[in-house]
């Protein structure tokens, strides 16, 4: 799973959230009992922190991102070191749009990011790392200090050297196994995130709230736009306008998203055929299911299922 990679552009075609919405979801996820229990258990088992950071949430407070690694915290306090760390974290986020990615910083430490999605929206990244995947050596540390000096950094190099040689060292296989655990945890967060998003949506206009409840209850049926509008006692034209303004999605797009989220859960059951999942969630053909699923999730249903089994 470990992948040393360069920055990649987002070619998925799905809109990413940039603003308050993903921050609210991320804050609620990080405050959840599930996250706090996992964070504590992960640290007790590995000695490493796990943190969740919203999309677009990078700023100058980089020391907080390195709370489990004293070497990184010291580097982050320097002008050049902080800028380099932030640039690397941005590159890592860009590369991790579609799956777990790892990058190595100028000092040779590994940092990793695991994407967290709610529906088709990328909302955050899980992070762990700032570890060495080889034994530290004096030559590499000397190269690191030369780079910091070239950036004009002012740092206590004795304290930096002590922290560098105390950095956690892991084998690649052990580190890969930890990333697989975090990938599984990210999927659990996605399920919780969907529930949290439903709670947030209670602030929607009454028409939209009633429409969402109607669509969730009857997603297995072949409901139409006109039927949904009649169910909430408004004209089809008014329904389309209000629903799109509140959700950013059309009726058809939102209904497909509900069905795909239900399908993702059913696909975890190996006894169900993909065709059964498709019809159970309201799609009227396999081709329609495949198109919708790939557009929203980014993978075909069969590939999504196989990835869950491998994780």
How far apart are alpha carbons 118 and 26 in whole angstroms? 11
Segment (H or E) for 113: strand 110-118
What does the buried/exposed string (b/e) look like for 132-161 if buried means 16 or more CB atoms within 10 Å of the residue's CB?
bbeebeeeebeebbeebeeeebeeebeebb
Q: Where are the domains of the chain?
A: 20-195, 204-310
Q: How far are the Cα atoms of 3, 51, 169 from residue 172, in angstroms, in the given order?
A: 11, 21, 10
- Supply the CATH classification number for the domain 20-195: 3.30.450
DSSP state of 270: T
pLDDT single digits (tens) 259-290: 998 898 888 888 999 999 999 999 999 999 99
Question: So what's the pLDDT on residue 2?
Answer: 52
Question: So what's the pLDDT on residue 60?
Answer: 42
Report if pTM > 0.75: no
Query: Do the two domains 20-195 and 204-310 of this chain adopt the same fold?
Result: no
Question: So what's the pLDDT on residue 123?
Answer: 85
Say if residue 53 is exposed, middle or buried (CB neighbours under 10 Å; 0-12, 13-18, 19+).
buried
- 101-104 and 110-118 beta bridge pairing: antiparallel
Q: DSSP of 24-37, one letter per residue?
A: HHHHHHHTSHHHHH
Q: Which residues of the chain have pLDDT under 50?
A: 1, 3-19, 60-66
Return the number of other C-beta atoms located less than 10 Å from residue 248's C-beta: 13
Question: So what's the pLDDT on residue 299?
Answer: 84
Of the CA atoms within 13 Å of residue 95, those in its CB half-sphere come to 20
**CATH second-level architecture of 204-310?**
Orthogonal Bundle (1.10)
Helix 251-266 crosses helix 286-297 at what angle (to 10 degrees)? 90
Question: So what's the pLDDT on residue 58?
Answer: 61
């Amino acid at each position: 799973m470990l992948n040393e990679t360069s920055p990649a552009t987002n070619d998925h075609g799905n809109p990413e959230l940039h603003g308050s919405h993903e921050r609210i979801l991320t804050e609620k996820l990080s405050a959840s009992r599930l996250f706090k229990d996992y964070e504590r258990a992960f640290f007790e088992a590995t000695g490493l922190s796990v943190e969740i950071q919203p999309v677009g949430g990078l700023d100058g407070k980089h020391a907080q991102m390195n709370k489990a690694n004293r070497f990184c915290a010291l580097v982050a306090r320097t002008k050049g070191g902080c800028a380099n760390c932030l640039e690397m974290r941005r590159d890592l986020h860009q590369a991790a749009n579609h799956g777990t990615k790892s990058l190595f910083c100028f000092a040779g430490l590994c940092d990793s990011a695991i994407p967290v999605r709610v529906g088709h929206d990328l909302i955050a990244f899980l992070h762990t790392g700032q570890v060495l995947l080889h034994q530290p050596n004096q030559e590499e540390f000397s190269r690191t200090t030369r780079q910091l000096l070239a950036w004009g950094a002012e740092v206590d190099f004795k304290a930096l050297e002590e922290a560098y040689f105390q950095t956690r060292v892991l084998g690649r296989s052990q580190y890969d196994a930890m990333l697989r655990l975090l990938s599984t945890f990210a999927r659990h967060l996605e399920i919780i995130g969907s529930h949290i998003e439903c709670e947030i949506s209670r602030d929607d206009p009454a028409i939209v709230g009633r429409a969402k409840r109607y669509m969730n209850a009857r997603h297995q049926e072949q409901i139409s736009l006109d039927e949904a509008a009649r169910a909430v006692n408004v004209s089809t034209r008014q329904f389309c306008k209000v629903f799109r303004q509140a959700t950013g999605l059309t009726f058809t797009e939102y209904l497909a998203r509900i069905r795909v989220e239900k399908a993702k859960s059913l696909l975890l059951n190996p006894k169900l055929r993909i065709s059964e999942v498709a019809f159970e969630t309201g799609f009227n053909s396999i081709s329609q299911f495949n198109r919708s699923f790939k557009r929203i999730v980014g993978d075909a249903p069969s590939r999504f299922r196989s990835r869950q089994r491998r994780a």
